[in-house]
Amino acid sequence: TMLSFITTDICISKELLQRALSEDIKGTYNMISVDGDTSTNDTLYGLANGASGVSASDEESLKALSAALTSVLGDLAYMLVKDGEGASKVARIHVAGAASDADAERVARTVGHSQLVKTALYGRDANWGRIVAAVGRSGADFNPDDVVVTLCGVELFRKGQPTDLDFDALLEEPLKQRDLPIDIVLGSGSGSYTLLASDLGHEYVNVNADYRS
């Protein structure tokens, strides 16, 4: 369950604050996933008391408010993934070259929700096959020979086959880090999407197996 509260002392109407929040969550809160599940109680509140006397009513002030909201929401979104139940890694899955943004999102979420990918990240395993398999079943439109997969800056897959690199040696240290970038290029267009997702380890099972309502 996620309960988030954003507070400000700016003077702003309910409608304008709602508009700003609705726009700024698109590239922050709506681009994260811990386990692919949701709760009926997941909520983000925006509260403004107007105590500062500073008004946000024109486009310039609204633009400044939006920039501040994006910064705060971006930090909180990252923290939500980092602090996910039992999480030890944050995978930043960036998909580019898709036929559309929607296709890019399909790929990113399929990879980010894959239990096999998530457990591989937890186990520090440079398992390109699990990533490519998730890309393949995403439903996105692409030519498999055009797919390029890169993990922590090391190219794992290109032209329909793994690259001729010593993955284990090259990624031994990078996979120990908290943040793990996964870059996927489809070669089908200009669509792109980025998703932050956590790994899946023993502690996640312990927390949720012992959970009682």
pLDDT of 213 reads 61
pLDDT value of position 59: 87
What's residue 38's pLDDT?
86
Nearest to 139 by CA among 109, 171, 179, 113: 109
Is the pLDDT at 121 greater than 80? The verdict is yes
Give residue-wise pLDDT tens across range 191-207: 999 999 999 999 999 98
Residue 212 has pLDDT above 80, yes or no: no
| Cα–Cα dist 139/151, whole Å | 22
Please give the average per-residue pLDDT across 12-39, as a whole number: 93
Closest CA to 181 of 87, 112, 79, 97: 112
- At 58 the pLDDT is 85
Alpha-carbon distance of 35 to 118, in angstroms, equals: 9
Higher pLDDT, 18 or 212: 18
d(CA 187, CA 95): 10
The rounded mean pLDDT for the chain is 95
**Could you give the 3-state DSSP secondary structure of residue 6?**
strand
Flag whether pLDDT at 41 surpasses 80: yes
pLDDT per position as a tens digit, 140-175: 999 999 999 999 999 999 999 999 999 999 999 999
Token pair of 50 as six digits: 């107007």
Residues catalogued as catalytic: 1
